[in-house]
Amino acid sequence: MPRWEIVETWKDQDVFIIGGGNSLRNFDWSLLFDECTIGCNMAFIHGSQVCKICIFGDTKWFRRFKLDLMAFDGIVFTSHKEYAKSKIDWLWTLPRKPKGLSKTELGWNLNTGSNAINLALILGAKRVYLLGFDMKLLDRAKPNWHDLLINGIDTFNDPLYKRFNEGFRKVAECLPRVFPGREVFNVTDDSGLDVFPKISCDEFWSKRKLTHG
């Protein structure tokens, strides 16, 4: 296991977190080629040009995609305690904090998205932008932007999203105390996640193209 020394690799940068929501089904992934990105779970299938870091929190998911992740040319991170002393030399870890945020651990808050936010902040992100954080079912047959459902892992329902939202609320509460001056924005149209300021996708990417070429 790589012994990662915490370094603000992305100090004062914008960091994008790629969620799993169906709202990204027709997303132009090339928009992320030159950005700092952390992808939750399946985002790694787009390669490191889109997903610089892949983060996961579920052991069943990891076992299912371990061979695919071995071929991934980006970094793979987890906070799951099962891998804290792993001998897998390409798997990077930090300890898991059950609730809230930390500068030395990854706040779990019952979802991988929270882990990703905390990792982005530890890496020095000034602003964190959430993509595909739908937090509700737009299409029960297709809850994700991909169609790779894994039995026993992908069980999406209203109570699950309620639990996720409670975790994100804890993140929002801790943010100004643990990482003062940092910001998190939700760039997801029609999102059920209301604890972070929202920006419409069209508005955000239009301005991004003007200011970042």
Please report the domains of the chain, with CATH numbers, ordered by start residue: 14-212 (3.90.1480)
- Encode the chain (213 residues) as per-residue pLDDT tens digits: 455 678 889 999 999 999 988 889 999 999 999 999 999 999 999 999 999 999 999 999 999 999 999 999 999 999 999 998 888 989 999 999 999 999 999 999 999 999 999 999 999 999 999 999 998 766 555 667 777 755 444 556 666 778 888 999 999 999 999 999 999 999 999 899 999 999 999 999 999 988 876
Calpha distance 27→97 (Å, rounded): 32
Secondary structure percentages of the chain, helix, strand, coil, to 5: 35, 15, 50
The CA distance from 17 to 10, in Å, is 13
Phi, psi dihedral angles at 4 (to 5 degrees): -80, 120
pLDDT, position 156: 61
Q: What is the pTM of this model?
A: 0.92
Cβ(131)–Cβ(39) under 8 Å?
no
DSSP 183: E
Report pLDDT for 121.
98
Per-residue pLDDT, 159: 67
